Amino acid sequence: QSALTQPASVSGSPGQSITISCTGTNSDVGGYNLVSWYQQHPGKAPKLMIYEGTKRPSGVSNRFSGSKSGNTASLTISGLQAEDEADYYCCSYAGIVVFGGGTKLAVL
């Protein structure tokens, strides 16, 4: 099972919006709605930000949103803030689990 494909890095200015893509196949992202997204700050454990492709856990800012089209899932962060600077990982659950390679978000 290959890792899901994410851009290595994205950047944006405070207040702007950015989108991180996550591309898989019909066997993972495209075949199921069980895509989740995680935020990881340096030296910390990952934190669940989006599940089932579009849903936010309680306590996660509504600036974070998810979507999916075909074999590609996306995470959008609107109104960028300095504390959003982190690594972001997508994940597909289809019996077995596959993570994306991760995207480093820089808030310039």
Partner 1 sequence: QVQLQESGPGLVKPSQTLSLTCNVSGDSFNSGTYFWSWIRQHPGKGLEWIGYIFYSGSAHYSPSLKSRLAISVDTSKNHFSLKMSSVTAADTAVYYCARVTVRQGAFDIWGQGTMVTVSS
Rounded (10°) CA dihedral 107, 40, 50, 18: 20
Q: Does 91 bind partner 1 (CB under 8 A)?
A: yes
- Note whether 64 binds partner 1 by CB under 8 A: no
Contact segment (CB under 8 A) with partner 1 among 15-23, 60-68, 78-86, 95-103 equals: 95-103
Supply the minimum distance, in Å, between the C-beta of residue 83 and partner 1.
19
Give whichever of 16 and 97 is closer to partner 1, judged by the CB atom: 97
- The answer to whether the beta carbons of residues 75 and 22 sit under 8 Å apart is yes
83 binds partner 1 (CB under 8 A): no
Dist CA 65 CA 18 (whole Å): 11
Q: Are 66 and 50 in contact (CB under 8 A)?
A: yes
82 binds partner 1 (CB under 8 A): no
**CB burial of residue 32 (10 Å; 0-12, 13-18, 19+):** middle
Among 14, 81, 97, 108, binds partner 1 (CB under 8 A): 97
CB of 17 to partner 1, least distance (A): 24
